[in-house]
Structure 1
Amino acid sequence: MARLWRYGGRWALVYLGLMTAAPAQAAGPLIWALGDSLTAGYGLPPADGFTNRLQAALRQAGVPATVRNGGITGDTSAQGRARLLWGLRGLGVKPDLVILELGANDMLRGMPPSQTAANLDAIMAELKRRRIRVLIAGMRAAPNMGPAYARGFDPIYPRLAKRYGARLYPFFLDGVAADIALLQADGMHPNAKGVSIIIHRILPSVRAALRP
């Protein structure tokens, strides 16, 4: 069952199961992936999306985690910031970890890196205030954006990780970007094989971020 939810002047389809308070915390850790199309699983069957694959990989590794999908295709850092609070409320319980994966759409639209940095900083500050651990999944500027843009954009993620004492995964598409065998026809989003590479590479960082 789903309902249209309005935020930031936009409508988004939200599954009511994510907006209903759970009676109790799950036996294992709860992870919320707050992001855009890369965490939403754009163009893929649900079973092949990032969050489902990450949950399966964690459980196979002996970590009984639940991974909730907080990705919305097309979201910028500003839109992610706008839905942060109701997204946290929708989980019903405080997550043990938030994977923050935003900024790619800012870059693709040529938004000033200072705006992206300010939005991500606000998200990080709120999560720290709530004592929620964060794994920042970084992004890098596409080559066509030029070196000047990259100098302003790329350092955002390591700088915020250092400021807030968060764990950093430097580049979400590491090992996948620019490899047509691992991307969908649009040349931007990973296919099922690409998601497998992402999961394999990010899994140690997720496990480390879950440790006390």
Structure 2
Amino acid sequence: MTTVLIVDDHPAIRLAVRMLLDRERYSVVGETGDGAVAAQMARELKPEVVILDIGLPGVDGLGVIKRLRLLEPCPRILVLTGQPAELFSRRCLDAGASAFVHKDEDLDALLFVLKAMVKGYSTFPDLSAQRSPLMSEEQRLAKLSDQEIMVLRLLTSGQSNNSIAARMNLSAKTISTYKTRIMEKLEVGSLVELLEFSRRHSL
């Protein structure tokens, strides 16, 4: 029986996923809404699979993936998130995840991807054929580093430079530099435009 750890800050999502897995004879060995403790739980519980939301508040979900990849044995990581696939699926793949499912998809899609992943397959959205009026904005977002994405998400959540600096163990001046660089890459002229840009892409 495949063992699973669920990491999502929404109790309703965790419950729905747990019920699905129980029905399909998977063994849920633990769950948490805190990405900061997810790696520790995985180290102690040794699940074969971690179902992870990378949109956890104040947590760098990509960093969680990288920490999980350092564990021995290393769990297979299925990202289940509301974050845009155009921006995050490639980043999750590069960080070491094995699969990516958007929360807009139904639970049957999650189950299909989970079964494929357990058999050794990697499953990520095919973005090559996607074209939309926002493609130029998508391309600008793709220029951002993982650290810049994290700063942008924290800015969008309303946090100040000082609080972001404390959370990321950086100086406020460094965060200010990040913010300037982000605005240049996204080609926005003000903080208001930056926040509107970020919210349009569900960051």
Same topology, TM > 0.5: no
Q: Which has the larger radius of gyration?
A: 2
TM range, normalised to the smaller chain?
A: 0.3 to 0.5
Normalized per residue, the structure richer in strand is: 1
TM-score normalised to structure 1 length: 0.34
Normalized per residue, the structure richer in helix is: 2
TM-score normalised to structure 2 length: 0.35
